Amino acid sequence: MSEVRIAGVGLTPFGRMPDRTGRDLFAEAGLAALDDAGVAPPTVEHLFFGNFMGELAEHQGHQGPLMAEAVGVNAPATRLETACASSGVAVREAVKTVRNGEADVVLVGGMERMTNMGTAGATDGLSIAADDLYEIRAGMTFPGAYALMATAYFEEYGGSVEDLAHVAVKNHDNALPNEYAQFRNAITVEQALDAPRIADPLGLFDSCPISDGASAAVLVSEEFAEREGLDAAVSVTGSGQGGDKLALHDREWLARSPATEKAAEMAYDDAGIGPDDVDLAEVHDCFTIAEVLAIEALGFYDYGEGVGAARDGETTRDGRLPINVSGGLKAKGHPVGATGVAQIASLTKLLRGTHPRSSDLDDPRVGLAHNAGGTVASATVHVLEVER
């Protein structure tokens, strides 16, 4: 089995770019990743591409071949869709393809165009990650679904909207020097608490923004990296994926994410590590409560213990386990199909020491990326390790 190296990563800035086409967004990120890797586009043997709602956003299906040609790749191209975990799943397929020897050079990425749909249109589009018949037709929205989980969490374990506000404050602060982030403004707990509610108990500052953007990474076999003399110090050493019932009401737990647990267990086993070995993590904080659910399911905290982690300074940059140093989905932005690979891009830079927040960290060696779809009916976890 080949070891999988990350040869290069690339991003567009995330934000409001309603006039830019998906193909142009992905071309920017894909070319940046290939340039970072020092790999020529024709060398790529397969593209795995994540996108959630291109049919709704820009009337475009069959995006794999479109995105391959946008970056000059003449190879088979596969689009994957698992809602907000679309490109996390693309990473997993890319890892498997390199590991099993089917390819030495794979491009993986994702893109979402959302702001051209308007707030109502994007809210409608995002809602289709839930069960159309029994959730959407009962008025559930994407923020509403996480609000249902937040209320269930508070009922079962305690915690408060103020605890959640600390998650938002932390992630905004993390994003301040990140030139790719959508929000680079500090906020206070008071501002978060005073913001209008979207779906009680969640307010505007508990929610990630609606974002446009793209991400890409070049994954290569260790043999290829050595043969070509590539600078590829970061490896993907663990990969896992978990699944659950689509509708929240069909799950055993309303305030836990078993799909994340399963993905984490698989990825830890694969990498031969445990949660205590992780130095920093990028987790799927589409809403503040989602960060809490993630750090518990990943094994960093017992159930019911994660809600105070940001408030207590344990998950800030100088805490025992920095979470979402990039700014997370909350402040970096969440172009949904791009998010999974964007997490890989941020972690790669943090582990290489080339991220604007690298100087704030204590020589991290092991990073974890957690990407979730819907109300976590899909989840992927990847472990990245750097060789020094």
Partner 1 sequence: MSADDAPREDGFDDLLDAVEDGSGYYCSCENGHGSLPPRRVCPHCGSQALTETSLPDSGRVETFTVVRVATPQFADDVPYVTAVADFGEVRLTGIVDAAPDEVSVGMTVGVSVGRSETTGDRVLTLDPR
Q: Which residue ranges make up the site for partner 1 (CB under 8 A)?
A: 119-121, 123-124, 127, 133-141, 143-144, 147-149, 151-152, 155, 196-202, 245, 247-250, 254
Between 1 and 120, name the residue whose CB sits nearer to partner 1. Answer: 120
Which residue, 20 or 245, has its beta carbon nearer to partner 1?
A: 245
What is the residue-wise DSSP string for 254-287?
Answer: SS--HHHHHHHHHHHHHHT--GGG--EEE---SB
Q: What's the N-to-C CA distance of the chain in angstroms?
A: 22
Task: Kindly state the smallest distance separating residue 232's Cβ from partner 1, in Å.
Answer: 42
Considering the complex, what minimum distance in angstroms separates the CB of residue 377 from partner 1?
12
Give the C-alpha separation, 206 to 330, whole Å.
Answer: 8
Long-range pairs of 269-277 with CB within 8 A, sequence gap ≥ 24: 269/238, 269/240, 270/237, 270/238, 270/239, 270/240, 270/383, 271/237, 271/238, 271/383, 271/385, 272/237, 272/238, 273/237, 273/238, 273/366, 273/383, 274/299, 275/299, 275/300, 277/366
Smallest distance, Å, CB 186 to partner 1? 25
Task: Map residue 380 onto helix, strand or coil.
Answer: strand
Q: For partner 1, which is the closer residue by CB, 139 or 229?
A: 139
DSSP string, 134-190: TTGGGT--HHHHHHHHHHHHHHHH---HHHHHHHHHHHHHHHTT-TT-S------HH
Cβ distance to partner 1 smaller for residue 118 or 272: 118
Q: Please, what is the minimum distance in Å from the beta carbon of residue 96 to partner 1? A: 26
Residue among 145 and 298 whose Cβ is closer to partner 1: 145
CB of 148 to partner 1, least distance (A): 5
Question: Is 334 designated active site?
Answer: yes
User: From the candidates 166, 334, 355, 382, which is the catalytic residue?
Assistant: 334
C-alpha–C-alpha distance, residues 98 and 219, integer Å: 8
Element (H, E) at 217: strand 213-221
| Smallest gap from residue 12 Cβ to partner 1 (A) | 26
- Which entry of 84, 172, 355, 382 is annotated as an active-site residue? 84
Which CB sits closer to partner 1, 252 or 302?
252
Tell the smallest beta-carbon distance from residue 253 to partner 1 (Å): 11
Give Cα 225 distance to the centre of its chain. 26
* Cβ nearer to partner 1, comparing 112 with 135: 135
Q: Cα-flanking dihedrals φ and ψ of residue 259, to 5°?
A: -65, -40
Whether the Cβ atoms of residue 346 and residue 370 lie closer than 8 Å to each other: no
Backbone angles phi, psi at 378, to 5 degrees: -135, 140
Check if the beta carbon of residue 77 is closer than 8 Å to that of residue 68.
yes
Nearest to 171 by CA among 336, 332, 364, 350: 332
CA 363 to chain centre: 22
The residue among 220, 210, 369, 340 whose CA lies nearest residue 280 is 369
User: Between 73 and 336, whose beta carbon lies closer to partner 1?
Assistant: 336
CB atoms within 10 A of CB 327: 28
Q: Least distance in Å: CB of 244 to partner 1?
A: 10
Catalytic residues: 84, 334
